Structure 1
Amino acid sequence: MDNELEKRTLRRITWRIVPFIVLLYFIAYIDRVNIGFAALTMKHDLGFSASALGFGAGIFFWGYFMFEVPSNIVLHKVGARLWIARVMVTWGIISAAMAFVQGTTSFYIVRFLLGAAEAGFFPGIILYLSYWFPARHRAGVTALFMAAAPLSTAIGSPISAALLQMHGLAGLAGWQWMFILEAVPALVLGVVVFFFMTDKPEQAKWLKDDERTWLVDTMRAEAATKAGHAAHGLLSGLANPRVLALSLIYFGTSAGLYTLGIWAPQIIKQLGVSSMTVGLLNAIPPLLSVVAMIVWSRHSDRTGERAWHVVIACLAAAVGLVVATGATSIVGLIAALALVNIGISCAKPPLWSMPTTFLSGTAAATGIATINSIGNLGGFVGPAMIGWIKDKTGSFEGGLYFVAGLLVLSATLTLVLARTRKPASTANGAVAH
């Protein structure tokens, strides 16, 4: 009976929560990386060098870094419903403002403000999932949520390319229309969040009484089990050595992810295809990675193993980047980018299953935000270094090798963390063997 109740409850909360947060992250990721497609024409209109484009695209993550931890602490205090709604409306307004930048200074300022506005969204959702799903189910659910990133690239790429064709309508460039129209869903969904999202299981009137009771009791029992060894305080989340290690691991995966998001369209464009063809080709690798991510994370949940699932995925992505440097055909390049996409996407769900097993309460809020904010600085370093090296050498090759090296470092640090973990960190099968 309990097993049937568990299945029924998890099925109900999954269908209620996961499709909605996937949609939110889908929109967030499009607004974060659509600069990669805008740059196909924007850099010419505004006279941007590769270095300026890479720096401006990456400075987003400095705003993210500075405001991430405070934002997640506020979310933990006031609830996800109110705070996620605020985040989405703010970033929608600023994302639309990207249409009106005039040069490098305004470009840098608006990108920084966009990062500050969006700070707290991703770690807030990760924290939110820890309120609703027992640890043994969390990697699979996290994978479904994070599938929105590759899906947004797959679906958003041809859409962004199509919007570039609106060039000249009402006196605006195609890239300006792209920023304006792709910001609208964030504004609309920000309002929907306020009325649709439920902060905690205790408040879930859409659950049946026995389902709500089971879920509340299960999450309280998990918290009680964790209470003996989990860190709870603010400083525990900020200064925990495992948090810092996971931040560095995430740094490499973020460098890889945003290298793809910002530069993949221009790497493909080098083969002499049209912008619309770039959009269609750029959609193929992330579609493949969605399937791989879900299968990989479910295997991680089933086995209770995390570290090797991160290590193998990071190394696969690194190999893909190295192969991409020598690709001279469309088929070869897309195959290499597919391997990068699959590796990076598969690394993230098992990685994000780790922190909530040794942190709880305020420490979980600050720890998750710390991992995301420090780790996402890789989203600045990767794209910025590729742009700088491209200007210096005329090629993407050196930059891709650099990012591949960061992913190898992530794999190495994951193994070190797994070997030095505390015994208690294996609770609920969350930190790898």
Structure 2
Amino acid sequence: MSDVVIPEAERRAVGKFLRRMLPILVLMLLVNQMDRTNVGFVQDELRADVGVSATAYGLGAGLFFIGYALFEVPSNMLLERFGARVWLTRIMITWGAVIVAMCFIHNVWMFYALRFLLGVAEAGFFPGVLLYFTQWLPDSSRGRASAIFLGGSATAYIVTGPVTGALLELHGAGGIAGWRWMFALEGGFSILVGFVAGFFLVSRIQDARWLTQEEKDALGEAVARDKEARDRAPRTSRLKLVLHPQVALLTAVFFAMALTGYAITFWLPSLVDDIGGLSPFQVGLLTAVPWICAVIAMYTMAHFTDRAPDRRPYLAIALVLSAVGTFLATLGSPWFGLAALTLAAVGGKCAATLFWPMAQSGLDLRIAAPGLALVNSIGNLGGFVSPTLFGYLQDTTGSTNGGLYTLSAASVLAVCGVAFIRRSRTAAPVQAAQTAATRA
């Protein structure tokens, strides 16, 4: 097959979009990831100051995903109606306001309510940006934009710990607890970035002052051609998708992956704090170590497996690493636990990198886009189950070992499921679905 020749005007327009729009979108995603996971660094403080038990903490951390799942589709519909500039800005400003409100938490019910509202406020942000790409970029350029955008998610895992730890060092300033300072300042920064985004984002190609008329026409025509091709694709009901064997299998595997990913995200700071004698900033620095290793491994794995004829063996190996890491975390000292969870994080991130391209190519073209969207939305509910289970087990048994055993078993079951995922000779050309939830 010969390479597609992209008109020069279209090429220039795409380059301008990547240079002007992607930096602010990447910054928004980085702040998004930080604000949804920063609660993991204040578990002990919430217990001491507000009376949030481990069970309540786990439930509150997970309630975010319930609010997110319930309002994701309505939010995307409103984005189409009001445009990306208005709606993405609204999303960011409102979630920043909820984060600021969290500095005033005084009981567990307020904690529950604000975590749920944070999910409602954030709902539609990530898929909304992917939808924004479809309104601005043809399929041939969307994969590159999505990869750059997802880099913000990978970076967020690394910077969240040091930044949040540094803000917790403000404890006592003005007679205010460090965790309240953390929520107030991170939420305030989100609001500020939201207002800045309102000045940078442009909803429609024809409204971009930084494009010439020739570039607007060329880019608009390319996007219109792709939209026409997508509109001709057959529609499949959600019920049929749920019952489709491959969709159900992929959902189960991704659900197991999400269980481990979000358990590490929300409970890693607590494990590092058990080392003892560390300042909040030092705790934050150490929590970045597993994610630095995971991101390096993720990109290394992607480089060596991009042209692999079958990704299933590599995915199975990554899931085994995740299972071994979560099991070993139950043994030895907190330092040993940190090393074990680093192994689990490496396995989880590599698994995500391998899973989505493989899932994309394994589904029939007629159901690829809606099928992968369903896998993403249902599988991400692991973000509710995992912290809730961990909190309950810690309160009832005095240890998180039971939760770690569960994660290890889930990863082993996922390895078994990988063997039954269909292998396809051709990949489905669905850029947005290929990247959905790699951030998890």
The structure-2 alpha-carbon separation of the partners of 1:129 and 1:320, relative to structure 1 and needing over 3 Å to count, comes to farther
Partners of 2:352 and 2:216 in 1: CA distance: 29
- Equivalent residue for 1:104? 108
Q: Distance in 1 between matches of 2:240 and 2:145?
A: 23
Aligned counterpart in structure 1 of residue 330 of structure 2, from 313, 325, 332 = 325
User: 2:27 aligns to what?
Assistant: 23
| Secondary structure in structure 1 of the residue aligned to 2:422 | helix
Residue identity matched to 2:295: V
In the alignment, what sits opposite 1:2?
5
Report the Cα distance in structure 2 between the residues aligned to 1:167 and 1:190, rounded to whole angstroms. Answer: 27
Partner of 2:46: 42
> How far apart are 1:159 and its partner, in Å?
2.1
The corresponding residue for 1:265 is: 269
Aligned pair partner of 2:183 in 173, 179, 183: 179
Q: In the alignment, what sits opposite 2:75?
A: 71
Name the aligned partner's letter for residue 5 of structure 2: D
C-alpha contact (below 8 Å) 1:232/1:359 kept by paired residues: no
Evaluate the alpha carbon distance shift between residue 136 and residue 385 of structure 1 in structure 2; reply closer, same or farther with a 3 A threshold. farther
Counterpart contact for 2:323–2:407, Cα < 8 Å: yes
What is residue 119 of structure 1 aligned with on the other side?
Answer: 123
Residue 247 of structure 1 and its aligned partner are, at CA, apart by: 3.9
Give 1:313 deviation, angstroms.
3.4
Q: Given the superposition, is the C-alpha separation of residues 88 and 401 from structure 1 closer, same or farther in structure 2, using an over 3 Å criterion?
A: same
Q: Using CA pairs below 8 Å that are at least 6 residues apart, which structure has the higher relative contact order? A: 1
Match runs of 1:186-205 below 5 Å = 186-199=190-203
Quick one: distance in 1 between partners of 2:316 and 2:217?
38
Aligned counterparts of 2:248 and 2:163: Cα–Cα separation in 1? 38
Paired position in structure 1 for 2:438: none
Provide closer, same or farther for how the CA distance between residues 196 and 182 of structure 1 changes in structure 2, counting only shifts above 3 A: same
> 1:374 maps to which residue?
378
Q: Does 1:418 find its partner at 2:418?
A: no
CA distance in 1, matches of 2:257, 2:28: 21
Give me the TM-score of the superposition, normalised by structure 2: 0.81
Root-mean-square deviation (CA), in Å? 3.7
Residues 225-240 of structure 1: matches in 2 within 5 Å? 230-232=233-235, 235=238
Matches within 5 A, 1:15-414: 15-131=19-135, 141-199=145-203, 206-207=210-211, 216=220, 219=223, 230-232=233-235, 235=238, 241=244, 245-274=249-278, 275-297=280-302, 310-328=315-333, 330=335, 332-349=336-353, 351-352=355-356, 370-414=374-418
Provide the C-alpha distance between the structure 2 equivalents of 1:160 and 1:285, rounded to a whole number of angstroms.
16
SS state of the match for residue 40, structure 1?
helix
Between the aligned partners of 1:190 and 1:84, the Cα distance in structure 2 is 8
Structure 1 residues 12 and 278: alpha-carbon distance in aligned structure 2, compared to 1, 3 A threshold? same
Per the alignment, residue 437 of structure 2 pairs with none
User: Per the alignment, do residues 307 and 211 of structure 1 end up closer, same or farther by CA in structure 2, a change over 3 Å counting?
Assistant: farther
Contact 2:271 2:334 in 1 (8 A): no
For residues 230 and 100 of structure 2, what CA distance do their matches in structure 1 show? 43
Deviations 1:81-114 (A, max 9, x none): 2221111111111111111111111111111111
Identity of aligned residues (%): 36
CA distance in 1, matches of 2:240, 2:189: 33
In structure 2, relative to structure 1, the CA distance for the partners of 1:301 and 1:97 (3 Å cut) is same
Q: Which runs of 5+ in 2 are unaligned?
A: 435-440
Distance 1:214 1:360 in 2: 29
Equivalent AA in structure 2 for residue 293 of structure 1: M
Using the TM superposition, name which of 38-47 and 4-13 deviates more.
4-13
* Separation in structure 1 between the aligned mates of residue 26 and residue 155 of structure 2, nearest angstrom: 9
Checking the alignment, whether the CA contact within 8 Å between 1:123 and 1:369 is kept in structure 2 is no
CA contact (8 A) 2:272 2:334 kept: no
Shift of 1:260: 1.6
CA–CA separation in structure 1 for the residues paired with 2:227 and 2:305: 22
1:30: how far off?
A: 1.0
Q: How far does residue 379 in structure 1 lie from its aligned partner after superposition?
A: 0.8
Alignment-mate amino acid for residue 317 of structure 1: S
Work out whether residues 360 and 427 of structure 2, in 8 Å CA contact, stay in contact via their aligned partners in 1: no
Work out the CA distance in 1 between the residues paired with 2:27 and 2:355: 22
1:300 positional shift: 5.4
Aligned length: 425
Deviations 1:234-292 (A, max 9, x none): 75897583655544433223222221221001112222242332111111111222233
Q: CA deviation at 1:301?
A: 5.0
Alpha-carbon distance, 1:116 to partner: 0.9
Shift of 1:388: 1.3
Quickly say closer, same or farther: Cα 1:175–1:427, change in 2 above 3 A: closer
- Aligned partners of 1:132 and 1:359: how far apart in 2? 23
Q: 1:110 to 1:368 in 2, by over 3 A?
A: farther
Equivalent-residue separation in structure 2 for 1:210 and 1:409 (angstroms): 54
Task: For 1:98, give the aligned amino acid.
Answer: M
**Contact persistence 1:64–1:373 (CA under 8 A):** no
The CA distance in 2 between the partners of 1:378 and 1:402, in whole Å, is 12
TM-aligned CA distance change 1:140 to 1:179, over 3 Å: same
Q: Give, in angstroms, the shift of residue 385 of structure 1.
A: 0.9
Q: C-alpha deviations, 1:369-403, integer Å up to 9, x for none?
A: 64443222111111111111122222222211212
Q: Secondary structure at the match of 1:128?
A: helix
Cα distance in 2 for partners of 1:15, 1:426 equals 28
Query: Residues 139 and 298 of structure 1 are in contact (CA less than 8 Å); yes or no, is this contact kept in structure 2?
Result: no
- The question of whether the paired residues in 2 share the 8 Å contact of 1:237 and 1:243 is answered with no
Which amino acid in structure 2 is aligned with residue 34 of structure 1?
A: N
Letter in 1 for 2:293: L
